[in-house]
Amino acid sequence: MSDGPKLFTNKPRKAQLKHKTEAGRPPSQPSMDPPRPPETPPPPPSSAQVPKETAARRYKFVWPVLLAVNVAIGAYLFLNANKKDEKEEAEVVGGAPASSASATVAVPEKTLPPEPTIVPAIIPREPIPEDEQRKLLKWMLEEKRKVKTKNPEEKKRIDEEKAILKQFIRAKSLPTI
């Protein structure tokens, strides 16, 4: 009935170990040693005899986890604070204050005169031949047929676009692009 080695809080003496091995022998094998009186087991260890471990040593596997969690939380808070500051700066630079509580003094905005818009020169291009236009419209129709719709409104819109493309393809003359 030996379950293997046992861990003891107090190491057993040699005499105790010998006594246990003699008791475990079958009766057919006589013992060569003279019989000894059974010894009483040692008293259970009291709280005064057991050395106290500090909490840091007792939970030494917890410290790396706590350190990693603290570093992760610190990095998260640091990055969110930076993002928040960038948003506030962008709002202040854009002219609108960050919040109504932080804007105690209203600063009138100076309006700049509108800048003249520069229109790029329109370059006249050659008209696209009708057969190329039809090929292009047929290609667009094929691409519309390949589209997978997610909801009925999108399907309806794509069906309308396909109908318009079919009308242009079947028409005798195409509008100039």
Find all residues with CB under 8 Å of 88, minimum gap 6, and list them. Answer: 98
Please check whether residue 71 lies inside any domain of the structure: yes
The Cα 39–Cα 57 span in angstroms is 36
3-state helix, strand, coil in the chain (%, to 5): 45, 0, 55
- Specify if 83 maps to a domain: yes
Relative orientation angle of helices 130-146 and 152-170, to the nearest 10 degrees: 160
16 within domain boundaries: no
Has residue 68 been placed in a domain?
yes
Question: 102 lies in a domain?
Answer: no
> What Å distances lie between residue 75 and 1, 43, 88, CA to CA?
57, 54, 20
Mean pLDDT, rounded, of the chain: 76
pLDDT per residue as tens digits for the range 132-150: 989 999 999 999 999 998 8
Domain membership of residue 151 (yes or no) is yes
What percent of the chain has a predicted confidence (pLDDT) above 70? 62
What is the number of domains present in the chain? 2
- Mean of pLDDT values over 85-114: 61
DSSP 17-77: HHHHHHHTS-TTS--SSPP-PPPPPPPPPPTTTSPPPPHHHHTTTHHHHHHHHHHHHHHHH
- The answer to whether position 141 is within a domain reads yes
Q: Check whether 108 has a pLDDT greater than 70.
A: no
Domain range for residue 152?
132-170
Contact assessment for residue 31 and residue 25, using Cβ atoms and an 8 Å cutoff: yes
How do residues 11-53 score in pLDDT, each as one tens digit?
767 777 776 655 555 555 555 556 666 667 666 666 555 667 7
